[in-house]
Structure 1
């Protein structure tokens, strides 16, 4: 396991540029992550230990639809351009949602691409991620937040081919309480019911063709990373859940990637307390669709 002490970041996302031989590390980079947002930065490295930056990749103008909660940017290459899926708190409604930004370069600048958020306007939503299905059609997988529904959900919605907007209504995939490992909590001010968190979904197609999903929740108030799999190989599921979390040591919102040498890694942030969060890189092994920590992880 590698921990970078120089980079303070939440929700780390690594884009591997195999042509350049470089890694681009995106994430929630505001020092006051819970308050006013300044934008997003990227760190660039030729290995997973030494990073240059941060370099600004997105800064909002005065007309931008959000001023707070700039969270969880993911960058995906799609049809020759780079698209950033990121969460924002909306000025007009006070709700959160995922919007899509676009750039011709991994170092930006990224500009708004979708017309506002592509999640439902009346939902508290976050952490949208891109998935291209077996027919080449784009979907977004995202969280319907516990702050609105109590038992946090993970949903999927079809996107228009140009990623400008959603097509149709979101499809609920599962609620956090359906998995055996997350535990509930009571919130003093939001509600008195049992609440379960869903955070940071990431879709990964295993070597054997199975469709896996990483997502985060809490175990006894400790941030944890779990994994689920689609029984059909399709994003609409049904989804079944592993009995125990993949990582339960106060870390989560992770993603999987193969490094330049082909080694599989899990990256996530840990601990889950600002300003101490750091990106962690863990070597993983994949066997018949099962992801486990490797010998050097």
Structure 2
């Protein structure tokens, strides 16, 4: 892996970077056909990127091979509910109603919640915020300053935009396993301007619904905590509604997926087998300028070693399957796609 000088990142963006050069977690790609540019978003931090506070970075590419950046598109402001020094996770950017909307999980560890979390973890404010810009390159500004989109007493993360059959906006998100032990995926309808919730949440499925051993085990060996991460929704060519999400299999992070049996957000949802194993996950899919589906995810889980990995995908009509890994784009790595 190439040497990487993280301390000067945002002060000295570079061209000619490879994915193997870029520490990244929870990657998200927007393929902008107008500019013929791929935008890769990931979280930015003081320790890794030389920033004075947490935020979101973007890298740009014309061919998915050579990247330019990083450029800062969002930083946590001082006058919001979140603490600028406590993290920014899982950025996503969606073009909706002519503007660009950033979904980003923020934190305030000083705002404690009642009770004690699973395994003794503290319960505190954690939730998805939404910010808006007229450009994919930002800057993005929060649409709601005083609290997360989902009520702050609920620890949530990884919010993602979904438009239903009536073109109504929803946020699909994960309810944190730290608070629930058995993490869930839920959804809430949003106001048309995405500034707040417009309904009560609905439950989609539990982390324990995975048909394999994905739990953290208690002392007696019983699975007792189940992670849900990185929910993303897509339609196949056969109009099947598919959700990418991540969890664990025998203690290793995996990229898996679920399918709505009704084709509607409300489900019910059936769990399919993982797409990619080997400490890999929190991925998303996008279509290239040649209209080919690709999956991008991060592997391994922990920073600063984590890097983006790319896979060519097949749309079978019923689901999406991994066709091949793209070592030519992301650098040499151990093949982890499941047969």
TM-score by length of structure 1 reads: 0.92
C-alpha contact (below 8 Å) 1:86/1:99 kept by paired residues: yes
Stretches (4+) displaced over 6 A: none
| Residue 92 (structure 1) aligned with residue 101 (structure 2) | no
Determine helix, strand or coil for the equivalent of 2:201. strand
Following superposition, the deviation at residue 233 of structure 1 comes to 1.0
User: Match for residue 265 of structure 2?
Assistant: 235
1:10-62 alpha-carbon deviations (Å, 9 max, x no partner): 000000100110000002232658xx952111001101111100000012332
Closer, same or farther: CA 142–95 of 1 in aligned 2, 3 Å: same
Which runs of structure 2 are paired with 1:152-171 in the superposition (5 Å)? 152-171=183-202
Higher strand share: 1
C-alpha contact (below 8 Å) 1:282/1:293 kept by paired residues: yes
Counterparts of 1:120 and 1:263 in 2: how far apart (Å)? 38
1:175-216 alpha-carbon deviations (Å, 9 max, x no partner): 01112135111479xxx9710000000001111111100000
| Residue 29 (structure 1) aligned with residue 44 (structure 2) | yes
Counterparts of 2:46 and 2:282 in 1: how far apart (Å)? 18
Counterparts of 1:260 and 1:42 in 2: how far apart (Å)? 19
User: Match for residue 274 of structure 2?
Assistant: 245
Which runs of structure 2 are paired with 1:261-276 in the superposition (5 Å)? 261-276=290-305
C-alpha contact (below 8 Å) 1:182/1:196 kept by paired residues: no
Closer, same or farther: CA 79–69 of 1 in aligned 2, 3 Å: same
Closer, same or farther: CA 167–187 of 1 in aligned 2, 3 Å: farther
Q: Structure 1 unaligned runs (5+)?
A: none
Higher helix share: 2
C-alpha contact (below 8 Å) 2:183/2:225 kept by paired residues: yes
C-alpha contact (below 8 Å) 1:224/1:252 kept by paired residues: yes
Determine helix, strand or coil for the equivalent of 2:214. coil
TM-score by length of structure 2 reads: 0.81
User: Match for residue 215 of structure 1?
Assistant: 245
Closer, same or farther: CA 78–186 of 1 in aligned 2, 3 Å: same
User: Match for residue 16 of structure 1?
Assistant: 31
Structure 1 or 2, whichever has the larger Rg, is 2
Counterparts of 1:289 and 1:265 in 2: how far apart (Å)? 17
Determine helix, strand or coil for the equivalent of 2:234. strand
Q: Structure 2 unaligned runs (5+)?
A: 1-17, 113-123, 327-339
C-alpha contact (below 8 Å) 1:284/1:291 kept by paired residues: yes
| Residue 59 (structure 1) aligned with residue 81 (structure 2) | no
Counterparts of 1:187 and 1:179 in 2: how far apart (Å)? 18
